[in-house]
Amino acid sequence: MGRSAIVLAAGLGTRMKSKRHKVLHEVCGKPMILHILDELDQLNLDQVIVVVGQQREAVQAVVGDRAEIAYQSEQLGTGHAVQAAVPLLRQDVETTIVLYGDSPLIRAQTISALLTEREQTHSAACVLTAKVANPGGLGRVILDNQGRFERVVEEKDASPAEKQIDLINTGIYAFDTIHLVRALARLQPNNAQGEYYLTDTLSILREECQNVVSLQVADPDEIASVNDLVQLAEVERLMRRRVCQHLMREGVTIINPDHTYIGLNVKVGRDSVLYPGTILEGNTVIGEDCIIGPNTRLVDVVVHDRVRIEQSVVYESEIDESATVGPFAYIRPESHVGPRVKIGDFVEIKKSQIGEDTKISHLAYVGDATVGKRVNIGCGVITVNYDGKDKHQTVIGDDSFVGSNVNLIAPLSVGDGAYLCAGSTITDEVPTDGFAIARNRQVTKADYVKSWRKSRIDKDSKDGEA
């Protein structure tokens, strides 16, 4: 029993007012078309075809080898788009489902149920329907007295009584492939737009006395489609809510799901708490008993257990257990923050390894550095890693103390237990247990300010007379 899917993704989506193809707009960090393909992957179908048209190269580049590509040279309606896929349909495919690349909320289990309903009823087609609160502008599904599918009536053709019906046609169908191909061949553009409508295949099948059935989707949100950026924002909201609900059911506390933004590939351990304004993207993994946020962004970050990150940004890095980050810290890619490390306010870490129990409490820049265990880095410390051409490494040994406002001119090595005095500019290697001070001796002139001020007043008076 072969099964195929045809995903319609040919139209550019002019109402999006965007240079990007509609199905390539992202929902929760992933292009809409990939949401559809991910759900279809779960069904182990024999064939998936994506119909492309405008900007086909861009769509093909995202789809890759995950589907066969059919090309619709002109956009002459949904029926015409499916016709473009017919030459690629395999001979052994018994059931073909048709769905849309701009409806990323559809679930694999709904598609599976639609396929099963078509096959178990031996029908020529199964129509996916939905009950919605506001059916205005949508095709109504008319059922007979036994609740069986009778026909679809478009809004413009509906009677006042039919317009009161809240059961709508989602435009998603499962067909007996042989009947689909035959009905497509009979389509005519008998409408004001001069287009071939896929909906008309249902009427053709009914005229042939074929059995057409319907299946109502359990969650109407699944069939939400995107035609403009307003609808894209609504679909994004629905998808985020779905992700948050899943995590909360798995033991994650989300203080305000409406203000928490979590990508589909993100994993969060139980008993972790996400505060409002948290943004988790990419392949971020968060352990158990963590506190993230508020107003924190993590992209492709691995966070171990019992970590707290507050009002900070972290990219492509790893943070070990019981570390604290922020508020207002910035950790750039290829950094590794060790266990129980403190990265405080207005600290920037770049491509550096920070050893366990080290403290970088505030107002410091550590770049291209390896910092040992139990190191104290004071306020205003800077690793001077760039000479205008190349980046250089700084190594700081275990149990060292780096005083406030120290500049470490890389390449530089500081041994274990070293002490670097505040205000120093360190240019040479400091050995183990070394004491380094590099600043001018203070000069204090008693009563100097009084005479200096008087000289300034006298000079200003002479300048005024001149």
Mean of pLDDT values over 161-186? 92
Reported as a single tens digit per residue, the pLDDT across 215-226 is 999 999 999 999
C-alpha 165/C-alpha 388 separation (Å) is 71
Reported as a single tens digit per residue, the pLDDT across 262-317 is 999 999 999 999 999 999 999 999 999 999 999 999 999 999 999 999 999 999 99
Residue 30 annotated as lining a ligand binding site: no
Report the relative pairing of strands 279-281 and 261-262 from DSSP bridges.
parallel
Residue 74 annotated as lining a ligand binding site: no
For the record, the structure tokens of 101 come out as 């690349």
Reported as a single tens digit per residue, the pLDDT across 119-172 is 999 999 999 999 988 888 888 998 888 888 888 888 888 888 888 899 999 999
Q: pLDDT confidence of 14, banded at 50, 70, 90?
A: confident
**What is the CATH topology of the domain spanning 2-223?**
Spore Coat Polysaccharide Biosynthesis Protein SpsA; Chain A (3.90.550)
The CA radius of gyration of the chain, in Å to the nearest whole number, is 33
State residue 319's pLDDT score.
98
Taking CA 28 as the corner, what is the angle to CA 24 and CA 33, rounded to the nearest 5 degrees? 30
Q: What DSSP designation does 289 have? A: T
Burial of 260 (0-12, 13-18, 19+ CB in 10 A): buried
CA-closest candidate to residue 266, choices 256, 255, 250: 250
CATH class of 327-456: mainly beta
Alpha-carbon distance values, 314 to 267, 275, 297 (Å): 16, 16, 6
Name the residue with tokens 């307003």.
230
Report the relative pairing of strands 167-176 and 125-131 from DSSP bridges.
antiparallel
Reported as a single tens digit per residue, the pLDDT across 422-449 is 999 999 999 999 999 998 888 898 888 8
Reduced to 3 states (helix: H, G, I; strand: E, B; else coil), residue 43 is coil
Contact criterion met (CB below 8 Å) for 373 and 399: yes
Residue 71 annotated as lining a ligand binding site: no
For the record, the structure tokens of 196 come out as 């071939």
The answer to whether the 2-223 and 250-311 domains have the same CATH topology is no
Report the relative pairing of strands 291-292 and 273-274 from DSSP bridges.
parallel
Residues 6+ away with beta carbon under 8 Å from 333: 315, 316, 317, 351
Q: Please state the φ and ψ torsions of residue 46, each to the nearest 5 degrees.
A: -80, -20
C-alpha 26/C-alpha 236 separation (Å) is 8
Report the relative pairing of strands 330-331 and 313-315 from DSSP bridges.
parallel
Instruction: Check whether 339 has a pLDDT greater than 70.
Output: yes
pTM: 0.86
Instruction: Check whether 236 has a pLDDT greater than 90.
Output: yes
Residue 391 annotated as lining a ligand binding site: no
State residue 465's pLDDT score.
66
Residue in 259, 304, 362, 392 annotated catalytic: 362
362 catalytic? Reply is yes
C-alpha 346/C-alpha 384 separation (Å) is 17
DSSP for 68-82, written as a single string: EEEE-SS---HHHHH
State residue 320's pLDDT score.
98
Residue 365 annotated as lining a ligand binding site: yes
Residue 450 annotated as lining a ligand binding site: no
C-alpha 290/C-alpha 308 separation (Å) is 6
C-alpha 108/C-alpha 217 separation (Å) is 12
Q: Please state the φ and ψ torsions of residue 370, each to the nearest 5 degrees.
A: -115, 115
Contact criterion met (CB below 8 Å) for 289 and 273: no
- Number of CB atoms found within 10 A of residue 327's CB: 15
For the record, the structure tokens of 12 come out as 């550019």
Instruction: Check whether 466 has a pLDDT greater than 70.
Output: no
State residue 464's pLDDT score.
67
Mean of pLDDT values over 95-118? 96
Reported as a single tens digit per residue, the pLDDT across 313-325 is 999 999 999 999 9
Residue 386 annotated as lining a ligand binding site: yes
CA 354 from centroid of its chain's CA atoms: 29
* CATH number for domain 250-311, candidates 1.20.120.1750, 1.10.579.10, 2.160.10.10, 3.30.565.10: 2.160.10.10
CA-closest candidate to residue 368, choices 382, 389, 358: 382
CA 356 from centroid of its chain's CA atoms: 31
Residue 77 annotated as lining a ligand binding site: yes
For the record, the structure tokens of 93 come out as 């495919």
How many residues are listed for the chain in this entry? 466
- Number of CB atoms found within 10 A of residue 3's CB: 25
Query: Structural domain boundaries of the chain?
Result: 2-223, 250-311, 327-456
Instruction: Check whether 250 has a pLDDT greater than 80.
Output: yes
- For residue 141, list its beta bridge partners: 152
Alpha-carbon distance values, 6 to 90, 275, 325, 401, 456 (Å): 12, 41, 47, 65, 85
CA-closest candidate to residue 404, choices 457, 433, 364, 435: 364
